[in-house]
Structure 1
Amino acid sequence: MVAAKKFVLRIDDKMYAALEKWAADEFRSVNGQIEWIIQQQLKSTNRLLPKLRDEKEISSEITTHSED
């Protein structure tokens, strides 16, 4: 399991209420909803690296690039 970074988020009451409703509609916690929203934006702007399947693939990637 990947360790999660913890931080404090200050948010307007109306925005929190909207997030709470949206999260409930999607059967998520507010925290889970915020994480999902951020993840979707990171993906849509190509700022999130795709997950590599396993360490073998990582080793293969490193080896391939070092031989170039």
Structure 2
Amino acid sequence: MAASSRKAFPLRIDPAVFAAVERLAGAELRSANAEIEMLLREALKARGIEVARTDPPRRGRPPKED
């Protein structure tokens, strides 16, 4: 199993807020985790902090070498 480049941490959140995030995530066809990340990025951008996106992990077979 490859190591993830994402940081995992526990998040204490009000159940009502989390339920609202889950509803929003469902409407946007995202996971709750992806929705929270999107909301954080939007909040940072609104405050003038631009966060660069990291490259997604490569998937599939490696290219054949000749």
RMSD (CA atoms): 1.8
Which residue is 2:59 aligned to?
none
Bigger Rg over Cα: 1
In 1, Cα distance between the equivalents of 2:18 and 2:30?
14
Aligned length: 50
Which residue is 1:3 aligned to?
5
Percent identity of paired positions between Structure 1 and Structure 2: 36
Task: Point out 4+ residue stretches in structure 1 off by more than 3 angstroms.
Answer: none
TM value normalised by structure 2: 0.65
Q: What runs of 5+ residues in structure 1 fail to find an aligned partner?
A: 52-68
Over 3 Å counting, the alpha-carbon distance change for 1:50 and 1:5 in structure 2 is closer
